[in-house]
Copies of this chain bind each other. A is one copy, B any other.
Amino acid sequence: MTAWLERLNDGRNVWYGTEKVEHLASHHAFKGTVATIEKLLTLSNEALYIEGRHASFHIPKNIEQLQKKQHAYEIWVDETFGMMSRLSEYSREIETGWYANRRQIATYIPHFEEKIIRRYNDSKEHELLSTAAAQDLQRKRSQSAVEVASGQLRIVKKTEEGVIVRGAKTIATAAPYVDEYIISSFHPRSAEQKSLANIFLIPANLAGLQIISRASFASDDKVNQPLSARFDEMDAVLLFEDVLIPWEYVLVHEDPEAAWKLQQDPVAGALSQHQTVVRLVRKLTAVAALANRLASEADITSFLHVQNELATLFSQIEVIKALLQTAQQTGQLINGVYLPNKQYLATARNLGTTYYPKAIEIIQKLSASGLLQAPATLELFDVHPEWHSYFEGASLNGYDRTLLNKVAWDLVGSQLGARHELYERFYSGDPVRTYANYYKQHTKKEAWQQFATSIL
């Protein structure tokens, strides 16, 4: 039993509907995923660690170290079929980045250095799991942003012990399972919104904090729903009703400029986005492999239009792999940290918002009604082995073919699957906005002059 499993009972307030969950490891909505995480944490694969700690805490000094981190991340992704999007590496990298860049940050945030040193060392030593929540609840989005009374997380009072806050933050993916939360905002705040302009790094069991789970997408049936039974990482709303956050967890308070600058920190940004692209490559690879096997078993790979669909899947992988590799190759050493090139990472992340849904659509198109002809349970074949042959594929027998179809259905047809499509579309913000930002930040100035001179 890991220290993490013990920490799950640290008093955090996890709500599942009307139920306050007392023991996650045995609760139907959580136990499958708890088992999956416990398995990952006890994996004895040396490649996961650098200098004795998980690679996500390592500060890369050169491209080789960056690639080492990549290989460490790939292990967990491959162990989970890419279905655990937020296994802490992302948010750990934010902490690692802030720590690595602490001198620079300290120039605009007082007391930052001492706080982040303590937090980072604590997280690293205990290999804490974490997550980040930067979104406000979706409501009256077109409203003037200064109407802070609408439930957004804000400071209502400051005391000697810390700040008293009220309001909510979301999407706190994996919140019930992890040890600490990075609380910030996706958008810059104006002077009038000062009370919203904060960044906190808090423990899950902070007194008074309520963790409101969405409906579980977990299944009890490992045989017939292999993905849903293992990989529902859960999403949650974090509710603060006059909760005290001690000063040691308050990185920024009531400072729009500092909050936005820290949110945009180049070191934390490059390292954490690097992880998301590593994850994307392997997830797309898993999906393409499944699609290719489905098509092979349905014996349709000789059709021109099927070859075109499968080519699209493999092409997607090559593109994201190339962007990742080029981001690494064209990285830069900044204040002693070797950072991947953010422009290529941003390109990959933007493409991911359409590539993954496209991949799922291709599986739908290739599998067609085949996904709906699988018997309710695989155990049927124990009772009626003579029906076996009706369900066989080009190379698999009826049982294994049905199992393959059930994996595919769990990916494209389950709540877990639908949530992943939504996740890939939106985890880095609304694509309409992220594409716009991509344009605004792109270094394309003066580009026209170069060509104009040659033809005019």
Interface residues of chain A, those whose CB is within 8 Å of chain B, are: 15-18, 29, 78-81, 135, 137-143, 151, 168, 170-171, 210, 212-216, 224, 226-227, 230, 235, 237, 239, 241, 285-286, 288-290, 292-293, 297-300, 302-305, 307-308, 310-312, 314-315, 318-319, 321-323, 325-327, 329-330, 343-344, 347, 350-351, 357, 361, 364-365, 368-377, 379-380, 382-383, 386-387, 389-394, 401, 403, 406-407, 409, 412-415, 417-419, 421-422, 425-426, 430, 432-433, 435-436, 438-440, 442, 444, 447-448, 450-452, 454-456
Chain B: CB-nearest residue to A436: B307
Chain B: CB-nearest residue to A443: B314
| Contact present for B15 and A375 (CB under 8 Å) | yes
| Contact present for B215 and A448 (CB under 8 Å) | no
Q: Which residues of B contact A224 (CB under 8 A)?
A: 215
| Contact present for B389 and A151 (CB under 8 Å) | yes
* Interchain CA distance A371-B325 in the complex, whole Å: 34
| Contact present for B142 and A299 (CB under 8 Å) | yes
11 interchain pairs, CB-CB under 8 A = A135-B369, A141-B298, A168-B390, A171-B373, A230-B455, A237-B390, A325-B329, A326-B326, A369-B426, A371-B422, A414-B415
| Contact present for A407 and B299 (CB under 8 Å) | no
Output the least CB separation between A196 and chain B (Å).
15
Q: Which residues of B contact A29 (CB under 8 A)?
A: 376
Output the least CB separation between A94 and chain B (Å).
19
Extra inter-chain contacts (11) besides given A137-B390, A170-B373, CB under 8 Å: A78-B454, A137-B391, A138-B369, A305-B432, A311-B350, A315-B435, A322-B327, A322-B344, A325-B329, A409-B418, A413-B415
Known contacts A78-B454, A314-B442; is-contact A304 B436 (Cβ 8 Å): yes
| Contact present for B382 and A18 (CB under 8 Å) | yes
Q: Which residues of B contact A394 (CB under 8 A)?
A: 139-140
Q: Which residues of B contact A302 (CB under 8 A)?
A: 142
* Interchain CA distance A139-B15 in the complex, whole Å: 46
| Contact present for B226 and A455 (CB under 8 Å) | yes
Chain B: CB-nearest residue to A315: B347
Question: Chain B CB within 10 Å — which of A308, A392, A440 has the most?
Answer: A308
| Contact present for A392 and B139 (CB under 8 Å) | yes
Q: Specify which of B371, B425, B450, B454 is in contact with A365 (CB 8 Å cutoff).
A: B425
Known contacts A299-B140, A417-B418; is-contact A307 B447 (Cβ 8 Å): no
Q: Which residues of B contact A297 (CB under 8 A)?
A: 139
Known contacts A168-B390, A368-B422; is-contact A299 B141 (Cβ 8 Å): yes
Output the least CB separation between A238 and chain B (Å).
11
Chain B: CB-nearest residue to A414: B415
Q: Which residues of B contact A16 (CB under 8 A)?
A: 376
10 tightest A-B contacts by CB? A17-B377, A289-B447, A413-B418, A307-B436, A322-B326, A311-B439, A138-B370, A293-B448, A311-B435, A17-B376
Q: Which residues of B contact A439 (CB under 8 A)?
A: 307-308, 310-311, 314
| Contact present for B307 and A305 (CB under 8 Å) | no
| Contact present for B373 and A444 (CB under 8 Å) | no
* Interchain CA distance A433-B300 in the complex, whole Å: 14
Q: Specify which of B142, B393, B403, B415 is in contact with A415 (CB 8 Å cutoff).
A: B415
Q: Specify which of B303, B318, B347 is in contact with A318 (CB 8 Å cutoff).
A: B347
